[in-house]
Amino acid sequence: MSANPFSFKLLKTDGMARRGEITTPHGIVNTPAFMPVGTQATVKAMYPEQVQATGADVVLGNTYHLMLRPGAERVARLGGLHTFMNWPHTILTDSGGFQVMSLAQLRKLDEDGVRFQSHIDGQKYHLTPERSVEIQGLLGSDIQMQLDECIKLPSPREEVQRAMELSLRWAERSRTQFEAMGGPGKGQGLYGIVQGGDVPDLRIRSAEELAKMPFEGYSVGGLAVGEPQEVMLRMLEVTTPVMPVDKPRYLMGVGTPDDLLESVKRGIDQFDCVMPTRAGRHGLAYTRYGKVNLKNARHAEDPRPLDEAAECQATSGYSRAYLHHLVRCGEGLAAMLLTWNNIAYYQTLMKGMRDAIEAGAFEDFYAKTKEDWARGDIAAL
C-alpha cells in the first residue's frame, strides 16, 4: 500500500457546509477546496510555485488535451504528470468526456464509448471508460474521474435519463479498470459522477446508484452548462442529501465566487473552473468587492492597488493605472498579474469559508461576503 492511501476526514459541519481533509500520496487537500485548472499541464500564466503560494493544495489536469498532446504514454515515460509539470502536490484529472462532447469533431457515441476526431489535427481516437482510466493511470494523477456523458441543458427527460443510465454503466466499467490498474493500492482515488440534468428524481437515482459502488469520492456533473444558477442550486439541494457523508463531494466546472459560496452552503467540498484564469487573461479581476474590469478607462489614473489589504503581491503591489495600461497594451504581464490576483482571491475565499465552518460562523461569513460584493468596487474608492 501507499504510505498515504487515499482518505477523507470530515472535521466539522456548520449547517450543510463541511470542513474536511482529503489525503493523497502527494499531500493533504483542505476542503472546501478550489482547484485551479491546468488544462495542458499548466495553470495558464502562472508558475507552479505561485499557484501553491496562493494556498492551492491541488490542481486539475485534462485527460482529453493531454491524450492529444503530448500523449499519456509519453508523460508516463517522463516520470508522470507530477514530475512533468513540476507540481509535487495533489493532481486531479478529469475523464475527458466533457471536452469530447464540446470540442471534438465528428464524434459518435455508443455503448462502448465515443469515437471522435481531434480538434487539433483531425486524428481519430476512441475513448472508452477503460481507456480514460488507463490514460489517467499513465498520467499518475491522485484523483481520477469516471468517463460519463455530459449533455446540454435543457434536454428532453428521455435524453437526460438515457445519458444518466449510460453514465452509470460506464461508472461500473471505470471502477473495474481502476482496480485492475492497482489504483487503490497506489493510494489513488476514483470518483463517480452524478448525472441527471435538471430532473430531480433522475439526480437522486443517479446518486443512490453510484453510492452502491466503492468510489473514493463522488462528483456532481452536468451542471454549469448554461442553465441558470437557481437551477444548479436546486439540483444540489436534492442531490447532496443522498450523497455519502463520509466521502468528498465535487461540483465539476464551477464557478463564480458566488457559485462557490452558495454551493459550499449546500454541502459541496471541491470545485474547479477556468473562470479565474480566463478572466485574468481578459482584463477582469476578482476582489472582495466584486469584479473589476481593468479595461475600463476610469482606472487610467487610479494609483490605488486592487486591494491594499490583500497578501497577494499582484493584488496589493501594483496600481490600477498600471494594470489598466498593461491590459490596454496587450502586455503578457497583464495576464500574469491578473491571473495571480484571481487565483489568490479564490483561495482566500475558500480559506475564509474553511475558517468560518471551523468556528461555527459560516452564516456570518456568508452574509459579510455577500455584503462586500453588494457594496461593489466603486464603494471601495
Model pLDDT for residues 180-199, shown as the tens digit of each residue: 999 999 999 999 999 999 99
Alpha-carbon span 201 to 239, nearest angstrom: 9
- Percent helix, percent strand, percent coil in the chain, to nearest 5: 45, 20, 35
272 labelled catalytic:
yes
pLDDT computed for residue 96 by the predictor: 87
57 labelled catalytic:
no
Alpha-carbon span 100 to 287, nearest angstrom: 33
Q: Which residues pair with 311 in a beta bridge?
A: none
215 closest CA partner among 194, 200, 196, 199: 194
pTM of the predicted protein model: 0.97
Residue ranges of the chain with per-residue pLDDT less than 70? 1-4, 104, 379-381
- 299 secondary structure, DSSP code: G
pLDDT computed for residue 380 by the predictor: 53
Alpha-carbon span 268 to 20, nearest angstrom: 11
Alpha-carbon span 46 to 37, nearest angstrom: 11
Phi, psi of 291, deg, nearest 5: -85, 145
pLDDT computed for residue 106 by the predictor: 80
- Cα 95 to Cα 52, 283, 331: the distances in Å are 24, 30, 34
Grid cell 466603486 in the structure block, residue: 378
- Candidates 142, 272, 307, 377; catalytic one: 272
pLDDT computed for residue 1 by the predictor: 42
- Candidates 57, 94, 142, 198; catalytic one: 94
Grid cell 460506464 in the structure block, residue: 170
34 closest CA partner among 217, 268, 323: 268
Alpha-carbon span 242 to 69, nearest angstrom: 38
- Cα 110 to Cα 64, 102, 114, 240, 264: the distances in Å are 18, 17, 6, 29, 35
Grid cell 488507463 in the structure block, residue: 134
Of how many residues is the chain composed? Answer: 381
